[in-house]
Amino acid sequence: MSRLVLVLGDQLSPGLSALREADKDNDIVVMAEVWDEASYVKHHPKKIAFIFAAMRKFAAKLQDDGWTVAYTTLDSGYNSGSINGELLRQADAHGATEVLATEPGEWRLISILEDMPIPVHQFADDRFIASHETFETWAEGRKELRMEWFYRDMRRKTGLLMDGDQPEGGKWNYDHENRKAAPDSIDYSGPMQFTPDETVEEVLDLVERRFDNHFGTLRPFWFATDTGQAKRQLTHWINKALPNFGDYQDAMLNDNRFLYHSIISFYINAGLLDPLEVCQQVEAAYKDGHAPLNAVEGFIRQIIGWREYMRGIYFLEGPDYTDRNALDHNRSLPGLYWGDETKMNCLSKSVAQTRDEAYAHHIQRLMVTGNFALLAGIHPHEVHEWYLAVYADAYEWVEAPNVIGMSQFADGGIVGSKPYISSGSYINKMSDYCKSCAYKVSAKTGDDACPFNLLYWHFMVRHRDRFEKNPRMAQMYGTWDRMKEDRRETVLSEADTFLNRMAQGALV
DSSP string, 338-374: GT---S-HHHHHHHHHHHHHS---HHIIIIIIIHHHH
| pLDDT single digits (tens) 196-207 | 999 999 999 999
Report whether 439 contacts 344 (CB < 8 A): yes
**In this predicted structure, what is the pLDDT of residue 250?**
96
Q: Is residue 245 part of a domain?
A: yes
Report whether 362 contacts 299 (CB < 8 A): no
Considering the chain, what is the average pLDDT of its residues? 97
With 90 as the cut, is the pLDDT of residue 1 above it?
Answer: no
Domain harbouring 234, CATH code: 1.25.40.80
Residue 391 backbone dihedrals phi, psi, to 5 degrees: -110, 135
Q: Is residue 214 part of a domain?
A: no
| pLDDT single digits (tens) 376-434 | 999 999 999 999 999 999 999 999 999 999 999 999 999 999 999 999 999 999 999 99
Q: Is residue 327 part of a domain?
A: no
My answer on whether 187 and 249 are in the same domain is yes
| Peptide bond connecting 45 to the previous residue in cis, omega within 30 degrees of 0 | no
Single residue among 316, 343, 359 that ends a domain in this structure:
316
**In this predicted structure, what is the pLDDT of residue 178?**
87
Number of domains in the chain: 3
Single residue among 79, 98, 123 that ends a domain in this structure:
123
Of the listed ranges 135-144, 172-181, 244-253, 416-425, the least confidently predicted one is: 172-181
Please tell me the distance from the alpha carbon of residue 279 to that of residue 276, in angstroms, as a whole number.
Answer: 5
With 90 as the cut, is the pLDDT of residue 183 above it?
Answer: no
Mean pLDDT to the nearest integer, 10-18: 98
Report whether 364 contacts 252 (CB < 8 A): yes
Please tell me the distance from the alpha carbon of residue 79 to that of residue 11, in angstroms, as a whole number.
Answer: 20
Q: Is residue 421 part of a domain?
A: yes
My answer on whether 267 and 415 are in the same domain is no
My answer on whether 145 and 40 are in the same domain is no
My answer on whether 11 and 96 are in the same domain is yes
| Residues of the chain by 3-state class (helix, strand, coil), percent to 5 | 50, 5, 40
Domain harbouring 343, CATH code: 1.10.579.10
**In this predicted structure, what is the pLDDT of residue 182?**
82
Q: Is residue 216 part of a domain?
A: no
Please tell me the distance from the alpha carbon of residue 320 to that of residue 456, in angstroms, as a whole number.
Answer: 29
Which secondary structure element, helix H or strand E, spans residue 69, and what is its range? Answer: strand 68-72
My answer on whether 346 and 467 are in the same domain is yes
My answer on whether 306 and 366 are in the same domain is no
Residue 438 backbone dihedrals phi, psi, to 5 degrees: -65, -25
Centre a 10 Å sphere on the Cβ of residue 212 and count the other Cβ atoms it contains.
Answer: 9
Q: Is residue 322 part of a domain?
A: no
Q: Is residue 486 part of a domain?
A: yes
Q: Is residue 27 part of a domain?
A: yes
**Beta partners for residue 69, in sequence order:** 29
CA angle 123, 128, 133 (to 5 degrees): 65
**Which domain, by its residues, includes 159?**
132-192+226-316
In the chain, % of residues over pLDDT 70: 100
- pTM of the shown model: 0.97
My answer on whether 151 and 106 are in the same domain is no
Residue 127 backbone dihedrals phi, psi, to 5 degrees: -75, -10
Report whether 253 contacts 432 (CB < 8 A): yes
With 90 as the cut, is the pLDDT of residue 40 above it?
Answer: yes
**In this predicted structure, what is the pLDDT of residue 184?**
84
**In this predicted structure, what is the pLDDT of residue 15?**
97
Dump strand ranges (E) for 353-481.
Answer: none
My answer on whether 243 and 367 are in the same domain is no
Domain harbouring 38, CATH code: 3.40.50.620
**Beta partners for residue 72, in sequence order:** 32
Dump strand ranges (E) for 387-452.
Answer: none
Please tell me the distance from the alpha carbon of residue 219 to that of residue 104, in angstroms, as a whole number.
Answer: 29
DSSP state at residue 193: -
Residue with more model confidence, 85 or 178: 85
The amino acid occupying position 155 is: R
Please tell me the distance from the alpha carbon of residue 50 to that of residue 40, in angstroms, as a whole number.
Answer: 17
The amino acid occupying position 128 is: F
| pLDDT single digits (tens) 299-328 | 999 999 999 999 999 999 999 999 999 999
My answer on whether 303 and 387 are in the same domain is no
Close Cβ partners of 144 (under 8 Å, ≥ 6 residues apart): 417
Closest-CA residue to 389 (of 341, 433, 354): 354
**Torsion sign over Cα 302, 303, 305, 311:** positive
My answer on whether 48 and 143 are in the same domain is no
Q: What 3-state DSSP class applies to 167?
A: strand
My answer on whether 270 and 349 are in the same domain is no
DSSP string, 241-287: THHHHTTTTT-BBTTBSSTT----HHHHHHTSS-HHHHHHHHHHHHH
My answer on whether 299 and 263 are in the same domain is yes
